[in-house]
A and B are shown apart, each in its own frame.
Chain A
Amino acid sequence: MKNIFLFIRRFFVFICFIILQVVCVVLLSNSSKTHQAFFAARANEITGKIDKQYSGVRDYLALKKENDKLQQENARLLNMLKSDYEAPDSTIKTVIDTSIRDTLNHPRKYTFLPAKVVGNTVSSQSNYLMLERGSNQGVKKNMSVISPQGIVGVVVEVSGNYSKVMSLLHRNTRVSAIIKKNNSSGDVEWDGTDPHFVLMRKVSKSAQVVKGDTVLTSTYSTYPGFIAVGTVAEIKTDATSNFYVLKIKTATDFFSIQHVYVVENARYEEQTTLANKKDLRNVE
């Protein structure tokens, strides 16, 4: 006990420093949505890891029970085998219907899940939408969201029946896009000023652009390719670089958005795990 007090006295200032830093971080995560999301995600990661270990141990301890259950299940299923019911006379034809999700076996990549918008902001620097469709209905983090007119945003948080979408009108938005006419690519961002317009940067000056050109998502983006982003409203030339800065009128009217589609990409995880592999990143 004495040693504990001695320890505390010796490192008193350092302990105070750490405590006050923690207070800062807590305050910061309470006052800023970005920080809140960041720390929540980190905390989830850690607790998730511990949970996984713990459930691994628990599963191991329950292994015997589980085996017994499986054996029973096996026995039950074995008794239901078709061969068990072989009729002495084979004039009856048995037809087995095996219907899978897509009977023509087309490899499906995108599934569109309709959702209703129940909350939306356009006036702040970081705008979010709320959708009434959550993880119980198949929505996952990082799915992209489109409206009948064009792109809307990306799902950033999911609960049981609701999901939160980072709108295109968010400072952190970045969408890879192309100009429909000549496929020249660029990045779409929002500068936080006017909710009717977004900016498209990094468009090469060699591309021929006129007012009114249509801008679509490119196949590099998280969205499915060739979904409308908007139309070019103004062309600015950046004298210091070799790129245009295009002002784009958004295709989606964020002021009256009611129904959207959440896009489920069946191969998203495969793609991101490959992209995040350590070796590949080092090559860059």
Chain B
Amino acid sequence: MSSLLKNIVRFILFILLQVFVLNQVPPLHQFFVPYLYFLFILWLPFNINRFLLLVIAFVYGFALDAFTGRYGLHSAPCLLIAYLRPFLLNLLIPQETTEQSYIEPSIKSMGWAPYSLYIVLLTFIHNAYLVFIEWLQFGNFIYFLGKVAGVTGISLLLIFITEMLFFRKGKYRTNAA
């Protein structure tokens, strides 16, 4: 399957999963909403244009917002992580080797530690910004941090499960693609 087609399928699946499964978990909703959808952005290929990345993130967040009816709520954090992603990746991967040979970020292409750091940081930033833009204030700052930490914990758990379930064989980039 080509990279483009694969990502289109992911786009649809992630949105459907977030809207119809994760947004409907009632007992958790007293305090936390489990967010997984932004993993799509973290899984986009390395060599994607930075501008294109922003546009994709915006469209993606907008598509999710269309389901929840609050336009902009998810697009804004998506944009933020899409903007920060290239900087973080530049820091985390050795330029001359890995970036050349693998298509997208995964455990195999980056190694356990850098990949976890990449996921944890962006998840935290995403959730902090999302909660902040939802509340528009920090309120009780400890409570804010607790909420963000809780949401991030659940997101990380979900991402971990996803990585285990769908193990991606970090594909090499070939000239044919």
- A1-30 contacts to B (CB < 8 Å): 12-14, 16-17, 20-21, 23-30
Q: Are B54 and A16 in contact (CB under 8 A)?
A: yes
Does B138 belong to the interface (CB within 8 Å)? Answer: no
Q: Are B79 and A21 in contact (CB under 8 A)?
A: yes
Candidates A14, A23, A38; contact of B136 at CB < 8 Å: A38
Query: CB-CB < 8 A to A25: which residues of B?
Result: 72, 76
Does A31 belong to the interface (CB within 8 Å)? Answer: yes
CA A26 to CA B54, docked complex, whole Å: 17
Smallest beta-carbon distance B125→chain A, Å = 14
CA A20 to CA B54, docked complex, whole Å: 8
Query: CB-CB < 8 A to A34: which residues of B?
Result: 136
- 12 A-B contacts, Cβ less than 8 Å apart? A12-B51, A17-B54, A20-B79, A21-B76, A24-B58, A24-B75, A27-B71, A28-B76, A28-B133, A31-B70, A31-B71, A38-B136
Query: CB-CB < 8 A to B83: which residues of A?
Result: 13-14, 17
Does A202 belong to the interface (CB within 8 Å)? Answer: no
- We find that the number of chain B residues with CB closer than 8 angstroms to chain A is 18
CA A55 to CA B177, docked complex, whole Å: 65
Does A35 belong to the interface (CB within 8 Å)? Answer: yes
Q: Are B72 and A24 in contact (CB under 8 A)?
A: yes
Interfacial residues, chain A to chain B (CB-CB below 8 A): 12-14, 16-17, 20-21, 23-32, 34-35, 38
Query: CB-CB < 8 A to A35: which residues of B?
Result: 136
Q: Are A13 and B54 in contact (CB under 8 A)?
A: yes
Central interface residue in A13, A17, A35, by most chain B CB within 10 Å: A17
Smallest beta-carbon distance B30→chain A, Å = 10
With A17-B83, A20-B79, A38-B136 as known contacts, state yes or no: A31 contacts B72, CB within 8 Å. Answer: yes
- B69-84 contacts to A (CB < 8 Å): 69-73, 75-76, 79-80, 83
B contacts with A: majority SS: helix
Query: CB-CB < 8 A to A32: which residues of B?
Result: 70, 73
Query: CB-CB < 8 A to A29: which residues of B?
Result: 72
Interfacial residues, chain B to chain A (CB-CB below 8 A): 50-51, 54, 58, 61, 65, 69-73, 75-76, 79-80, 83, 133, 136
A contacts with B: majority SS: helix
- Chain B residue, CB-CB nearest to A35: B136
Query: CB-CB < 8 A to B61: which residues of A?
Result: 24
CA A135 to CA B69, docked complex, whole Å: 33
CA A160 to CA B66, docked complex, whole Å: 35
Candidates A13, A16, A27; contact of B75 at CB < 8 Å: A27
CA A56 to CA B75, docked complex, whole Å: 41
Smallest beta-carbon distance A19→chain B, Å = 9
CA A10 to CA B69, docked complex, whole Å: 36
Smallest beta-carbon distance B34→chain A, Å = 20
CA A137 to CA B97, docked complex, whole Å: 73
CA A14 to CA B79, docked complex, whole Å: 11
Smallest beta-carbon distance A281→chain B, Å = 13
CA A32 to CA B71, docked complex, whole Å: 8
CA A31 to CA B66, docked complex, whole Å: 11
Q: Give me the 7 closest cross-chain CB pairs, A-B, nearest first.
A: A28-B72, A27-B72, A27-B71, A24-B72, A24-B76, A17-B83, A31-B71
Q: Are A28 and B71 in contact (CB under 8 A)?
A: yes
Candidates A13, A24, A28, A38; contact of B51 at CB < 8 Å: A13
- Chain A residue, CB-CB nearest to B50: A13
Smallest beta-carbon distance A21→chain B, Å = 6
CA A14 to CA B83, docked complex, whole Å: 8
CA A31 to CA B71, docked complex, whole Å: 6
- Chain B residue, CB-CB nearest to A14: B83
CA A24 to CA B72, docked complex, whole Å: 4
Query: CB-CB < 8 A to A21: which residues of B?
Result: 76, 79-80
